[in-house]
Structure formats: C-alpha cells, structure tokens
Structure 1
Amino acid sequence: MEALDFDDAAAVLAAQPFSVLVGANLTTYLPPRAVLEIPLRPELLQQFGFVHGGVLSYAADNAITFAAGTVLGPSIVTTGFTIDYLRPAAGVLLRAEAAVVESTKRQALCRCEIIAVAEDGTEKVCAAAQGSARLIDLSR
C-alpha cells in the first residue's frame, strides 16, 4: 500500500472530529517521520494549569500512527502504545515528534517525544512514548 502525501495526510487529520476539537495540526509527514502540533488553550489543561495527560496521550497516539502511515499507507490503526510522563507540560504549543524504528509489510514500531514549547521558544521534553500500528482491511 502506498503512503499518502502531506496534503492527503493533513486531510485525514482534519477529517478526525476529535483532532479538530483538540486543534491538532500536521506539520511534518515524510518517511519515516510525522510531527503533530497542538496550540495550547485553557480547555486542554488540568486543575494545576498543566496540559492534561489525555492530551499528551492523544498526541503520542496520533503522531505514532501518522509516522507508521508514512511507511505502511493510510489503512492503519494503533495496536498499542506506552507513555511515560517525564514532567508537567506547560507553554503555548505541544509538539509530538514520532519516527518509525522498525517496520514489516503490515506493522510499524515507532517512538515519540512530546515537547512543550514555552512562549519564549524554550522547549522541554515532557513525555515519551513507544507504540505500533498495523494495516487493517477496511473492506470487512
């Protein structure tokens, strides 16, 4: 199966209602990498003012799947991932940078760093994840 180009991949992200709700943007989609960015706003924070863990997990999940899509094509789903929260995330932007580590014809293993960007441009890795995605048969 052939991978999508950047415009088609961005359209896939834009067709995901939850991604629209979160405000995610695809900024890189080039084998073997994908980068998602989420502008931060109060609705994405938890009670202490840090980015909610669910937003960090969403970013890792989608970045991993889009990175896998660069080598497997568009008919894929996440099969699982683990995430480690390293420090509270705060700032104006969240960036999830994922890359394929290994792949077969049907599955790809990816790693992801989630970076919080402050207003002054300072970047801090706030979480790291590893996961995989595999091809699915959409005709079923």
Structure 2
Amino acid sequence: MTLTIDDARRILAGQPFNSLVGGRITVFREGKATLQIPIRDELRQQFGLVHGGVLAYAADNVLTFAAGSVLGPNVLTAGFTITYLRPAAGKTLRAEAEVISATRRQALCHCEIYSDDDGREPILVAAAQGTTKLLEKAA
C-alpha cells in the first residue's frame, strides 16, 4: 500500500501522545520522513533545555514513519539507539529519517535531529538508528 503525506499526517494525528508533544509531519516520501516539534516550555528539563525524552520520541516516531513509507502503515519500532550530541534549544526540533535498507518485513533507518532557530544555522543535536518491523495484522 502506498501512503501519502496526508495519510502520514492522519496516522500521526491518531496518536494521542503526539497531541502532548505537538509533532507534525513536514516531509513524507518513499524512504524519507521529517517530523518537526515546536519547542515550548513544557518540553524542557530543569536546565531549560529540551528533555532527552522528547528527542527520543522524535527519533522513534520519524524512524517508523520513514520505514512506513516503504513497508506500509502496519509497522512498529523493533528497537532503536540514540546518541545525544549536544543540548537542544531553539524554536523547533527537526527530525529527519531515511531508510538505509529494507526487506519485505523490516527496515533499517537512520535519523538526525536538528535544533532550528530563526536566523541561525541548524544544530545537529542527536542521531539515531533503528529497525522497524511490519505487523502481519493491523494493531
């Protein structure tokens, strides 16, 4: 089944947790996906930086959306690793994922997360890699 960006946006809107985070799909095409999250105070930790859990959420979700662009909508994350490179601040988090390799039932994807701010160069704040598996039946 071929998914469109509108399908991806509907799937994201169906995730209740995303309504807390405020993520939105801005790119969705074969083998690629981008998720943006506006940075606001509720997403910060005690030092005023974006909480690592928000970065992990962004990685997990965008990795799965990239995989879903080649495997279809019935996918779940099988596992991922994330490396935090520097603190995230700014106005927006931008998580970009790309499929590295895919079979009929699973995909390996890479993700980079950037902190974007008005008038500044994007800052790479984290990188992740994960595997997504196709479910035999819809969850």
Q: Which residue of 1 aligns with 2:129?
A: 130
Query: C-alpha distance in 1, partners of 2:89/2:121?
Result: 11
**Scaled by the length of structure 2, what TM-score is found?**
0.97
**Scaled by the length of structure 1, what TM-score is found?**
0.96
1:12-66 Cα offsets, whole Å, 9 max, x none, are: 0011011111000000000110000000100000111110000000000000000
Q: Which residue of 1 aligns with 2:110?
A: 111
Please list, as runs of the form range in 1=range in 2, the aligned pairs for 1:91-110 lying within 5 A after superposition: 91-110=90-109
Query: What percentage of residue pairs aligned between the two structures are identical?
Result: 55
Please list, as runs of the form range in 1=range in 2, the aligned pairs for 1:1-140 lying within 5 A after superposition: 2-138=1-137
Query: C-alpha distance in 2, partners of 1:56/1:133?
Result: 18
Q: For residue 35 of structure 1, what is the amino acid of its counterpart? A: T
Q: Confirm or deny: 8 A CA contact 2:80 2:130 kept in the other structure.
A: yes
Q: Confirm or deny: 8 A CA contact 1:32 1:67 kept in the other structure.
A: yes
Q: Where does structure 1 lack aligned partners over 5 or more consecutive residues?
A: none
Aligned residues: CA RMSD: 1.1
Q: For residue 4 of structure 2, what is the amino acid of its counterpart? A: D
Give the CA deviation at 1:139.
5.5
Query: C-alpha distance in 1, partners of 2:102/2:45?
Result: 36
Give the CA deviation at 1:119.
2.9
Q: Which moved more, 1:111-120 or 1:101-110?
A: 111-120
Q: For residue 134 of structure 1, what is the amino acid of its counterpart? A: K
Give the CA deviation at 1:120.
2.4
1:60-86 Cα offsets, whole Å, 9 max, x none, are: 000000000010000000000000000
Query: C-alpha distance in 1, partners of 2:7/2:40?
Result: 27
Query: C-alpha distance in 2, partners of 1:139/1:22?
Result: 25
